[in-house]
Chains A and B, each alone.
Chain A
Amino acid sequence: MKNLLDFFVKHSAWFVLMLYVILSCVLLVRNNPYQQSVYLTSANAVCATVYEGLSSITDYFHLKGINEELQERNAMLEMEVVDLRAQVNDLKMQLPDTLQLQPVLQHFDFVVAHVISNSIAQTNNYITINRGEADGIKPEMGVVDQSGVVGVVNVVGKHSARVISLLNPDMRLSCKLRDSEYFGSMVWDGGDPRYAVLEELPMHLTYHVGDTVMTNGFSTVFPEGIIVGTVVGPAHNGRGNFLSLKVRLTTNFSQLSSVRVITNDMAEELKALELPPGDSIARKEDKP
Chain B
Amino acid sequence: MTKTILQLAVLFVVLILVQVMCYKILLLGVAIPLVFIYLILRLPVTWHMNITLTVAFVMGLIVDVFNNTPGMNALCCTLLAAFREPVFALFVPRENEMNNPIPCVDTLGFGAYLKYMSTLVVIFSTLIFLVQAFTLHNWPLTLMRIGASSLLTIVLLLALDSLVSTRREKRL
Contact = CB atoms under 8 A, between A and B. Distances in A.
Q: Do A and B come from one complex?
A: yes
Interface of A: 12-13, 16-17, 20-21, 23-31, 36, 39-42, 44, 47, 50-51, 54, 58, 117-124, 126, 162, 169, 190-192
B69 A120 contact: no
B74 A24 contact: yes
B71 A42 contact: no
Nearest to B78: A20
Contacts of A31: 69-71
B78 A41 contact: no
A121 B32 contact: yes
B50 A26 contact: no
B94 interface: no
A24 B71 contact: yes
B57 A20 contact: yes
B110 interface: no
B87 interface: no
Nearest to A120: B26
A36 to B, nearest CB: 7
B57 A24 contact: yes
B75 A25 contact: yes
Contacts of B68: 41-42, 119, 124, 126, 162
Given A24-B57, A121-B24, A190 B136 contact: yes
B65 A41 contact: yes
A284 to B, nearest CB: 38
Interface of B: 17, 20-21, 23-26, 29, 32, 48-50, 53-54, 57, 60-61, 64-72, 74-75, 78-79, 82, 131-133, 135-136, 138, 141
A17 B82 contact: yes
Contacts of A36: 70
A119 B68 CA distance: 10
A248 to B, nearest CB: 16
A121 B26 contact: yes
A123 B20 CA distance: 16
A50 B78 contact: no
A252 B138 CA distance: 24
24 contacts: A12-B49, A12-B50, A13-B53, A16-B54, A17-B49, A17-B53, A20-B53, A20-B78, A23-B57, A23-B71, A24-B71, A29-B71, A31-B69, A40-B65, A40-B70, A41-B68, A42-B68, A54-B21, A58-B21, A119-B68, A121-B23, A121-B25, A121-B26, A123-B132
- 4 A-B pairs closest in CB distance: A27-B71, A28-B71, A13-B49, A24-B75
Nearest to B53: A16
Contacts of A121: 23-26, 32
B67 A27 contact: no
A119 B23 contact: yes
Contacts of B136: 123, 190
Contact of A47 (B54, B57, B65, B78): B65
B75 A42 contact: no
A119 B67 contact: yes
A132 B138 CA distance: 36
A12 B60 CA distance: 21
Contacts of B132: 122-123
B65 A191 contact: no
Given A50-B17, A121-B32, A123-B132, A17 B78 contact: yes
Nearest to A44: B65
